């Protein structure tokens, strides 16, 4: 309960901050997008990671206010970046189900002037678990606006692949557990290759998460993954620390 009170006050006091992590082309290393990752600078407890407060925000309904702040802030920030760099924003399943997501997204785009083509939303398979007609309708409306939709943490959780034929995702983000075990376990390479082929057949980009070494990057490239993300490519950093080269990130 204490955390919940702190959370309400923290939102009002501007204690939340977005960090940004690069998503790059696997071959050319060209910057494609930045993923917004929320952090909480707690006055006493220091920097708090989202897995400590997102669930609480979902349970208390505060995820609506937090999600709105995140979308507004991420779009406003991205509007100042080079045109070819997209902004990827995580949408929690509860935010997806219980809030007026389309309105909130439209407002963030209008207020920031960010073209919809530069916004990518990331949803997890958890959203699809309670798949309903209006979820599908929201996703289709987002796509019709030009916003892209990525399926986050792909390959974990709910292994039904049938929803891939129900909705045309733009990107499959291969969960970092597959990247982590690439060198240690043979079958992980096979799974990554299978997902890459699946993506190609369904006309979806593939991205490998959690790339932490050159060896992993080389294997992912060989497997034909389109994009990569991870500490080896770039760590999440606050907006003030971002540096953009023209078309390239060093």
SS3 state at 170:
coil
Q: Of 38, 158, 135, 128, which Cα lies nearest the Cα of 88?
A: 38
Residue 38 binds which of ligand G, Mn ion, Na ion, none (CB < 5-8 A, kind-dependent): ligand G
Mask: binding to Mn ion, 94-133, rule CB under 5 A, as x and -?
----------------------------x-----------
Among 4, 153, 181, 212, binds Na ion (CB under 5 A): 153
Q: For residues 49 and 215, which CB has a smaller minimum distance to Mn ion in the complex? A: 49
Among 35, 77, 152, 226, binds Na ion (CB under 5 A): 152
DSSP labels, 205-245: EEEE----SHHHHHHHHHHT-SEE-STTT---EEGGG----
Q: For residues 89 and 239, which CB has a smaller minimum distance to Mn ion in the complex? A: 89
What's the CA gap between 219 and 224, in Å, rounded?
Answer: 9
| Residue 152 is a binding residue for Mn ion (CB under 5 A) | yes
Least gap, CB of 201 to Mn ion (angstroms): 23
CB 149 within 8 A of CB 127: no
Mask: binding to Na ion, 199-228, rule CB under 5 A, as x and -?
----------x-------------------
Which tokens is 189 given?
A: 């390479």
| Residue 50 is a binding residue for Na ion (CB under 5 A) | no
What are the residues binding ligand G (CB under 6 A)? 21, 36-38, 49-51, 54, 70, 90, 92, 152-153, 176, 209-212, 230-231, 236
Segment 207-226, which members bind Mn ion (CB under 5 A)? Answer: none
Q: For residues 123 and 223, which CB has a smaller minimum distance to ligand G in the complex? A: 123
Least gap, CB of 169 to ligand G (angstroms): 15
| Residue 68 is a binding residue for Mn ion (CB under 5 A) | no
> Phi and psi dihedrals of 33, rounded to 5?
-160, 165
Which positions lie near Mn ion, rule CB under 5 A? 90, 122, 152
């Amino acid at each position: 309960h204490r955390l919940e009170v702190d959370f309400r006050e923290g939102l009002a006091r501007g204690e939340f901050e977005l960090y940004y992590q690069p998503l790059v082309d696997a071959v050319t290393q060209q910057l494609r997008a930045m993923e917004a990752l929320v952090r909480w600078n707690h006055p006493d407890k220091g920097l708090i990671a989202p897995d400590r407060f997102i669930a609480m925000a979902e349970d208390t309904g505060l995820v609506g206010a937090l999600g709105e702040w995140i979308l507004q802030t991420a779009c406003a920030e991205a509007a100042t970046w080079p045109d070819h760099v997209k902004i990827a924003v995580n949408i929690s399943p509860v935010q997806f189900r219980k809030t007026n997501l389309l309105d909130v997204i439209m407002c963030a785009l209008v207020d920031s002037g960010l073209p919809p083509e530069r916004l990518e939303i990331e949803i997890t398979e958890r959203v699809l678990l309670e798949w309903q007609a209006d979820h599908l309708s929201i996703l289709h409306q987002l796509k019709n606006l030009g916003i892209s939709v990525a399926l986050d943490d792909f390959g974990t959780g709910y292994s039904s692949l049938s929803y891939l034929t129900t909705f045309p995702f733009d990107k499959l983000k291969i969960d970092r557990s597959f990247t982590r075990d690439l060198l240690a376990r043979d079958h992980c390479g096979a799974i990554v290759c299978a997902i890459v082929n699946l993506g190609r057949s369904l006309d979806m980009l593939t991205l490998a998460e959690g790339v932490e070494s050159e060896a992993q990057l080389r294997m992912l490239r060989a497997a034909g993954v389109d994009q990569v993300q991870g500490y080896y490519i770039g760590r999440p950093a606050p907006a003030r620390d971002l540096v953009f080269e023209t078309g390239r990130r060093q």
